[in-house]
Chains A and B, each alone.
Chain A
Amino acid sequence: MEIIKVENMSFSYSKEEIFKDFNIVINKGEWITILGHNGSGKSTLTKVMIGLLKKETGIIKINGIELTEENVYDVRKNIGIVFQNPDNQFVGSTVKDDLAFGLENLCLAHDEIEMRIEKYLTKVNMLEYKDKEPHNLSGGEKQRVAIAAVLSMEPEIIILDEATSMLDPKGKEEVIEVIKNLSENNTVITITHNLSEAILSDRVIVLNKGKIVLDGKPLAVFKETEKILSAGLDLLPSMKIANKLAELNYQDEELKGILWELNSKM
């Protein structure tokens, strides 16, 4: 079942054309990774999808409802976005208040808000930080709060727009762990320029200059090394090694000898 459908969408910043007749269909329950280098339009795509930026032409359907200027606020209830900078999306003065902000926007009652805060902070393992202020949290912790805040609004689709790019390795790991759990029950779209984050997802889309270059299962996509490189992306370390080895064209016995040598040096 398709949950997001973009048809013939065009969009441009004042002069620069970003998308022209862009099409994409995303199915319910999928975990999709959108890959692309800086300026490939990957972040713009999400902003257009929830109406933060206004499309010029085309149709965007979220959960079967067409996005128009009138229903933009209703459509947004179906999508939650976690942005890149953990500091700039923390609205409340404490962790609890930050979650409450989104829930207040949904006009929920006090008890319901309390219950959801408890539930979703547990989900991201941040319950004991409930009363902490943002400047006492690490980047990874803040980002987990941001995910909890988005989750607590119970959207159908969760978009993570480079949510891990400003985190240290530990923070990254924490957040990816949370995303992995999410993807079991939700439609998740992660946006990144890092191929290693894409491996776990169900489907990978590579964007370049506002066009889909590759679309498919991660392993199938990763095989197209030339297209990935021409899209301005970096290959996986393991793929780099594989390519290099293929170039050197070792015979079996020869390779074994070299590996033995390296192993004894370690």
Chain B
Amino acid sequence: MNVIVGRYINRNSWVHRLDPRMKILSLIILMIGTFMTSTLINMLWILAGVFLLILTSKISLLNFIKSLVPLLFLMTFTFVFQVLFNKQGPIISTLTLNLSFITILLNVVVIIGYQILKRFRIRGFFWFLLTFAFIIYLYTLNLGTPFKIINLNLYRDGLTFGLFLLVRIIILVSASSLLTLTTKPADLNNGLERLMKPLKVLKVPVDEMSMMISIALRFIPTLLDEVNKIMKAQASRGVDFASGNIKKKVVQIVSLLVPMFVISFKRADDLSNAMEARGYFPGMERSKFGILKFRFSDYLTILFSISFLVGIVYFDL
């Protein structure tokens, strides 16, 4: 079985070669930057910059779009909310909705069609959105004699602020995706550990935390293998994982979780024995094998990131 841990995609680009610490710091600076920007134009400029980074990272744009899909609902909700309820600035246009018998009838037909299509595995939020937009479009058509007319006003500030928030979400998500797509999980963990090192003064167990993360990462494929085995074992005893209502689903999950827990604890026990036998104890002084070294491009990147932040502050205030 070949499981990919994390979302790392191996390419040979300058973004991949950057020091993980630098990438994390730059991401944080970018995030601060997006929260200090207050105009849509500036936000779009930042988006253009992130787009340029994505292009030079040699990673297909599709991966970034994929990472945005789970947030489609949040993005639409924020945008629609702003457009409907933010009533500042001049009115740009008015949407006239005609409620007539024909449009309502068509509406019902569309909804039935949507429900039927859903059975053929054409589902998901995107289709819902498309159907919804189509229904709104139906109402704007002047079909039949309307018994009620609703006027929806579109305000300029509502629209721009909605777009502003939308672009901010896109920037935040695709920039963090860029980090996880171009950095191996182990390197990311290593970089985080180095960055958090100063927290050791405050008695934060940084080493132990990073050890825990690296072990968790290491055991993901092993445990997935285990889940597969247990699923097969339970299926051979008559548990049907493919179908069933919520009540049955709970039983299925429990039949999977209980052996999984027992096995995981056994593994943890074995692992802790093996680690102790190899001279490890929590809180000990250890040397570090993986060396991270800043190179010229790293210094250049952090310099650029800081000047970017200064630029944002300068142009925005």
Q: Which residues of A contact B (CB under 8 A)?
A: 47, 50, 52, 73, 76-77, 79-81, 83, 85, 87-94, 97, 100-110, 113-114, 133-136, 149-150, 153
CB-CB under 8 A from A153, the residues of chain B are 278-279
Shortest Cβ distance from residue A92 to the other chain B in the assembled complex, whole angstroms: 7
When C-beta atoms are compared, the residue in chain A nearest to B189 turns out to be A93
Q: For B280, what are the chain A residues with a Cβ–Cβ distance below 8 Å? A: 101, 105
Q: Is the CB of A103 within 8 A of B275?
A: no
**Which residues of the partner chain A approach B288 to less than 8 Å between Cβ atoms?**
104, 110
Which chain A residues border B2 with CB–CB below 8 Å? Answer: 135-136
User: Are A76 and B215 in touch, CB under 8 angstroms?
Assistant: no
Q: In the complex the two chains form, is B270's CB within 8 Å of A135's CB?
A: no
Within B180-197, the residues touching A (CB, 8 Å) are 185-186
Q: Does B232 contact A (CB under 8 A)?
A: no
**In the assembled complex, how far is the CB of residue B198 from the closest CB belonging to chain A, in whole angstroms?**
21
Asked if B218 and A100 make an inter-chain contact with CB atoms under 8 angstroms apart, the answer reads no
Q: Which residue of A lies closest to B1 (CB)?
A: A135
| Complex: chain B residue closest to A83, CB-CB | B274
**Could you list 15 examples of A-B contacts with CB < 8 Å?**
A73-B284, A80-B277, A81-B277, A83-B277, A91-B271, A91-B275, A93-B186, A106-B287, A110-B288, A113-B287, A134-B221, A135-B3, A135-B221, A135-B225, A149-B278
Say yes or no: B279 contacts A89, CB within 8 Å: no
Which chain B positions have C-beta within 8 A of A102? 278-279
The answer on a CB contact under 8 Å between A85 and B270 is yes
- Which residues of B pack against A, CB within 8 Å? 1-3, 185-186, 214-215, 217-218, 221-222, 225, 267, 270-271, 273-281, 284-291
Chain B residues contacting A114 (CB-CB under 8 Å) are 289
Query: Could you tell me if A89 and B215 are in contact, using CB atoms closer than 8 angstroms?
Result: no
Q: Is the CB of B1 within 8 A of A89?
A: no
Residues of B within 8 A of A135 (CB): 1-3, 221-222, 225
Given A97-B186, A104-B286, A110-B289, the answer on whether A76 and B218 have CB atoms closer than 8 Å is: no
Are A107 and B287 also in contact (CB < 8 A) when A52-B273, A76-B277, A135-B3 are?
Answer: yes
Q: Known interface pairs A77-B279, A110-B291. Does A89 touch B271 (Cβ–Cβ under 8 Å)?
A: yes
Q: Which of A87, A105, A107, A113 contacts B278 (CB 8 A)?
A: A105
Q: Would you call A88 and B215 a contact (CB within 8 A)? A: no
- For A90, the chain B residues whose CB sits under 8 A away are 218
What 6 A-B pairs are tightest by C-beta distance, nearest first?
A: A89-B274, A88-B270, A100-B289, A105-B279, A135-B221, A102-B278
The residues of A that contact B290 with a CB separation of less than 8 Å are 97, 100
Residues of A near B285 (CB, < 8 A) are 107
Cβ contacts under 8 Å, A80 to chain B = 277-278
Neighbouring A residues of B276 by C-beta, 8 Å? 52, 76
* Closest Cβ–Cβ distance, residue B232 to chain A (whole Å): 18
Whether the Cβ atoms of A134 and B287 lie closer than 8 Å is no
Closest to A84 in B: B270
Nearest CB of chain B from residue A11's CB, rounded to whole Å: 16
A52, A76, A93, A153 pick with most chain B CB within 10 angstroms: A93
Residue ID in chain B nearest A90 by CB atoms = B218
Q: In whole angstroms, what is the CA distance A90 to B3 when docked?
A: 17
Given known A73-B281, A135-B225, A149-B278, contact A83–B270 (CB-CB < 8 A): yes
Separation in Å of the B130 CB from the closest CB of chain A?
Answer: 41
- Distance between B82 CB and nearest chain A CB, rounded to angstroms: 44
Please judge, given known A-B contacts A104-B287, A104-B288, A110-B291, whether A50 and B277 are in contact too, CB under 8 Å.
yes
The reply to whether A87 and B287 contact each other, CB–CB distance below 8 Å, is no
Chain A residues with CB under 8 Å of B267's CB are: 85, 87-88
| B291–A105 touching, CB < 8 Å | no
Q: Given A97-B289, A134-B218, is A91 in contact with B274 using a C-beta cutoff of 8 Å?
A: yes
Q: Once bound together, how far apart are the Cα atoms of A162 and B167, in whole Å?
A: 59
Q: Most chain-A Cβ atoms within 10 A of its Cβ — which of B3, B284, B287?
A: B287
Compute how far the CA of A134 lies from the CA of B3 in the bound complex, rounded to whole angstroms.
Answer: 11
Contact in complex: A76, B270 (CB < 8 Å): no
Instruction: Give the CA-CA distance A149 to B217 in the complex, in Å.
Output: 20
Chain B nearest CB: distance from A163 CB in Å?
12
User: Within the complex, what minimum Cβ distance (angstroms) separates A113 from chain B?
Assistant: 5
Q: Which of B3, B185, B279, B291 contacts A73 (CB 8 A)?
A: B279
Q: Are A88 and B287 in contact (CB under 8 A)?
A: no
Bound form: Cα–Cα A175–B110 in Å: 67
Whole-angstrom distance between the alpha carbons of A67 and B277 in the complex? 14
Could you tell me the distance between the alpha carbons of A251 and B275 in the complex, rounded to whole angstroms? 59
Set of chain A residues within 8 Å of B225, measured between Cβ atoms = 135
**Residue in A closest to B287 when the chains form the complex, CB atoms:** A107
A87-B222 in contact given A97-B289, A110-B287, A113-B287 (Cβ < 8 Å): yes
- A109→B274 CA distance, assembly (Å): 22
Contacts of B3 in A (CB 8 A): 135
What's the Cα separation between A113 and B290 when bound, in Å? 10
* Shortest CB distance A165–B (Å): 14
Contact A105 B217 (CB under 8 A): no
Selected from B217, B222, B273, the residue in CB contact (under 8 A) with A83 is B273
Distance between Cα atoms of A114 and B284 in the complex (Å): 21
Chain B residues near A150: list those with CB within 8 A.
278
- Find chain B residues with CB under 8 A from A109 CB: 287
